[in-house]
Amino acid sequence: MLYIVSVTPALITIVLIFVDGVLIGLAAKKGIVAMILLLIAVVLSAFLGIAYLKSLSASTIEAWIVSHSSLLTKSIEGLLPIGTIGSVSLSIILFVVGMVLGFWRG
């Protein structure tokens, strides 16, 4: 049976969360190449909207985390009907699995 998967922004976000974890895991494992891979991971995180380095006050960070996490969970909920807790859990699990895989295979 052939299934056709449509590529949506939510699916791209899920894949990029995993890839970001893999890049950070590889960066943690490698010595000399770590700075380059970490730079790529930071750029990818900024593209996803999960990296903000301009202003680092506690209230700014909290507001940023709340707004981006709600945007991320709504994006994932649009793809998979697993609720808010499931969406947050899925994004954390994918990031950690990607990071462990990158660290282990790197």
* 3-state class (DSSP) for residue 49: coil
Is residue 25 domain-resident?
yes
pLDDT, one tens digit per residue, over 41-100 is: 777 777 777 655 555 566 777 887 788 778 777 777 777 777 777 777 888 888 888 888
Quickly state the pLDDT bin for 106 (edges 50, 70, 90): low
Domain containing 79: what range? 9-105
pLDDT for the residue 56: 56
At 26, the amino acid letter reads L
pLDDT for the residue 18: 85
- If one counts the domains in the chain, the total is 1
Higher-confidence position of 38 and 22: 22
Is residue 2 domain-resident?
no
Q: Residue 75 to residues 13, 34, 59, 79, 91: CA-CA distances in angstroms? A: 8, 31, 24, 7, 11
pLDDT for the residue 13: 81
pLDDT at residue 32 is higher than 70: no
pLDDT for the residue 83: 76
Is residue 70 domain-resident?
yes
Is residue 73 domain-resident?
yes
Q: What is the pTM of this model?
A: 0.53
Is residue 59 domain-resident?
yes
Is residue 4 domain-resident?
no
Is residue 1 domain-resident?
no
Of 50, 43, 102, 96, the residue nearest 75 (C-alpha): 50
Quickly state the pLDDT bin for 31 (edges 50, 70, 90): low
